[in-house]
Structure 1
């Protein structure tokens, strides 16, 4: 298995600094966040895209995935369609940067919409996205997140979508844990359709400003069963990335990336042997 990190953990670094530190620390890959003016954005022109790709390639670091923020639980057709088209644009950027995957969320079910209706709408949207993106050779990763944090909920969506080629799971190990699922349940449900993972750790905190009942801590210092998660992945022959999603962007008081990123490497390398 290989190790990567998401640029969610280093919001103040330039794209060049991300590449330099990834190479310096010894990471195998990175996930680049698509949002606003940080790191990468579809507004990059062809020359800028080539330069960004070369910055990582020259240091032996793979751009493994682009982290998009599309969702498909919108209340209007126009909102849903805008997200379908945005995912296509995000996938084009991933293709140009040499990344095999682009991440999407499914979303939160709005007030007044039943979960059954949301599943049907999301499934239809994803089937269209898969068709639009397939010619690019980029796979869409569905993250266990929001009201679809349980892998069982994602499985239901994919079943209704007809399991089209090009859709796979990004297993966020914290979100499924808090949904009450074990690692073994996740890997038995998705098997080799798990193409990417997010790892992080946390401790209880009833006063989290974002409404969670936990707060993030350095890897290995909390209650998330990281060893069990890795063992479950090994049981299905997973050989992809264990990507560190340090949420420094949302929690500015967390230790900086110069602390958290090297710590994650040391801890995970020891677990991996």
Structure 2
């Protein structure tokens, strides 16, 4: 099959699910990553009937719900229970929708040492991974904020050592962290859930661009994944929600898919 392509609803803020699925089928994306925030149509506040309806819509469209992009911060200072409760809510929703993954952030604060942040994140992920296993879902720690490189993420995931606790490689953050794609892959390989692709103009201007129009090493990322026979998901995370001046994603989805398909062909 090779790598499969998805996009995140972060790029189409508030768009009804029917329209999101229409964009996926029109432009040849196999899956959709759902931003699991109360602003969006799909979030942990949905009741059982609404959840069943969402799952049925995905099935009818022939599109896979790749994952839920949640906002729990596993390294954040404070009590464990509120963080774990938030993750459990996401894992339950993922199970009900048939989504294999839930995304969490590190979110380590500056008021604690890096060692404390790592230990806190590992402890919470270890506990949450047990719950995830019961639900047949995996939790992915995104390379982001306090832990933006693969090496950073591995300081947490290594000690956890659970099959249901993995990594989400956000190619922008590892690049901003100064890590080469080959280094990130080597660090994350045993734990890699999926990969978020995107493009930006520069380290100083992270406004989202069309894929291939910016500076991120997408060719190298696809090459290294291809070389190792990795056949997971590439998900385009276009951060329209945070950059209102960015071009609308729907008009970029077709050329974006073609760009990724070209990279995959060239890498093969």
Give the TM-score normalised by the residue count of structure 1: 0.92
1:248 aligns with 2:247: no
CA offsets 1:189-242 (integer angstroms, 9 cap, x no match): 222421201000111264xxxxxx533211101111111100111122111111
CA-CA distance at 1:153 after TM superposition: 0.9
In 1, Cα distance between equivalents of 2:39 and 2:17: 11
Matches within 5 A, 1:84-123: 84-107=84-107, 109-123=108-122
2:59 paired residue number: 57
Structure 1 residues 73 and 194, CA, compared in 2 at 3 Å: closer, same or farther? closer
CA-CA distance at 1:120 after TM superposition: 0.9
CA offsets 1:63-122 (integer angstroms, 9 cap, x no match): 011111101233321xx3211111111011001101011111111x32321111111111
Secondary structure of the 2:90 match is helix
In 2, Cα distance between equivalents of 1:195 and 1:76: 27
Q: In 2, are the aligned partners of 1:187 and 1:236 still within 8 Å (CA)?
A: no
1:13 paired residue number: 15
2:216 paired residue number: 224
Say which of 249, 255, 258 aligns to 1:263: 255
Say which of 149, 168, 171 aligns to 1:170: 168
1:235 paired residue number: 227
Q: In 2, are the aligned partners of 1:203 and 1:223 still within 8 Å (CA)?
A: yes
Any gaps of 5 or more consecutive residues in structure 1?
Answer: 207-212
Q: In 1, are the aligned partners of 2:150 and 2:185 still within 8 Å (CA)?
A: no
Q: In 2, are the aligned partners of 1:246 and 1:260 still within 8 Å (CA)?
A: no
Any gaps of 5 or more consecutive residues in structure 2?
Answer: none
Structure 1 residues 111 and 142, CA, compared in 2 at 3 Å: closer, same or farther? closer
Count of matched residue positions in the alignment of Structure 1 and Structure 2: 263
In 1, Cα distance between equivalents of 2:20 and 2:170: 22
The CA RMSD measured in Å over matched residues stands at 1.4
CA-CA distance at 1:46 after TM superposition: 1.5
Give the TM-score normalised by the residue count of structure 2: 0.94
In 1, Cα distance between equivalents of 2:75 and 2:191: 23
1:148 aligns with 2:150: no
Q: In 2, are the aligned partners of 1:33 and 1:67 still within 8 Å (CA)?
A: yes
Q: In 1, are the aligned partners of 2:6 and 2:31 still within 8 Å (CA)?
A: yes
Secondary structure of the 1:216 match is coil
CA-CA distance at 1:17 after TM superposition: 1.1
CA-CA distance at 1:260 after TM superposition: 2.2
Matches within 5 A, 1:124-143: 124-143=123-142
CA-CA distance at 1:136 after TM superposition: 0.3
